[in-house]
Homo-oligomer: A and B are copies of this chain.
Amino acid sequence: MSTRPRLVTASAAPSQRCGACHSHTMCLAASASGANPGTADAPPTLTLNKGQRVFGSGTPFDCLYLLCEGECKTERGIGDGQTQVTGFYQPGEILGLDALAGDSYCSDAIALSECTLCRLPYGALLAAMGRLPALRAQFQQLMGSEIARLQANLLLLGHARAPRRLAALLLDLASRRAAPGRMCKRFRLSMSREDIAAYLGLSGESVSRLLSALRADGVLRVRNREIELLDVARLRRLAAPEALA
């Protein structure tokens, strides 16, 4: 239960997956100019088991994390044990951006499955950005999309009823699991109903009920955490009935 995260400093070539990674350039830039020039081609990687923390709120901020494999959530506690899940993350996405404001992380990042992540030392990243204009622009864009993503969630929590919130999340998950533009119709949720509820600002029971209702309407199949989307068009209509010209 208390297997601690291991820090793997591979001496060999980076893994095959690294080559295919969307943020490979960022990863390399951070490691190449970073604290440990000896392992320039293989940035430090860490592996976590389900439930382990990548970083915790209050911990001093020193690096961002690129998620290579697995899925994570980030959440912020609100004192009485409740938490607001602020994001679900999939391979290729970056965790820890909310820490740039201060000197410590302000949310908890937790593995929802077995995960591998690359550490991106922030100092090295900043330095690399000085030399590489493209990296600079890429990073700004990354932060911009995090901001846009959070704004979209704000919209959802502020002005959408429960069914629309869930529909939007399902579509988001389905589209992020596949190549851009396409849609993954069959997938496995890595998070619990409670996690979904905490993300959408609902109760776990409500999420359960909504999923049952969607199943009853023939919009999807649910079996535990296995999801299959049967009627994507209807789901889209649910997620944005009047908007989206």
| Chain A contacts to B: CB under 8 angstroms | 76-80, 82, 84, 86, 97-102, 106-107, 126-127, 129-130, 133, 136-137, 140-141, 143-148, 150-151, 153-155, 157-160, 198-201, 240-244
Complex-state Cα separation, A124 to B143, whole angstroms: 18
Q: Is the CB of B157 within 8 A of A154?
A: yes
Chain B nearest CB from A78 CB (Å) reads 5
Complex-state Cα separation, A127 to B195, whole angstroms: 41
CB neighbours (8 Å) of A79 from chain B are 240-244
CB neighbours (8 Å) of A143 from chain B are 97, 100, 140, 143-144, 147
Chain B nearest CB from A96 CB (Å) reads 10
CB neighbours (8 Å) of A199 from chain B are 158
Instruction: Report whether over half of chain A's contact residues are helix, strand or loop; otherwise say mixed.
Output: helix
A-B contacts, 12 of them at CB < 8 A, read A77-B243, A79-B241, A84-B154, A86-B151, A86-B154, A97-B143, A97-B147, A106-B148, A140-B143, A150-B150, A158-B199, A159-B198
Known A-B contacts A137-B126, A159-B82, A201-B158; the reply to A107 vs B147 at CB < 8 A is no
Q: Is the CB of A106 within 8 A of B151?
A: yes
For A80, the closest partner residue in chain B by CB is: B242
Q: Is the CB of B159 within 8 A of A98?
A: no
Complex-state Cα separation, A84 to B80, whole angstroms: 28
State which of B82, B97, B106, B144 has its C-beta within 8 Å of the C-beta of A98.
B144
State which of B126, B136, B200 has its C-beta within 8 Å of the C-beta of A126.
B136
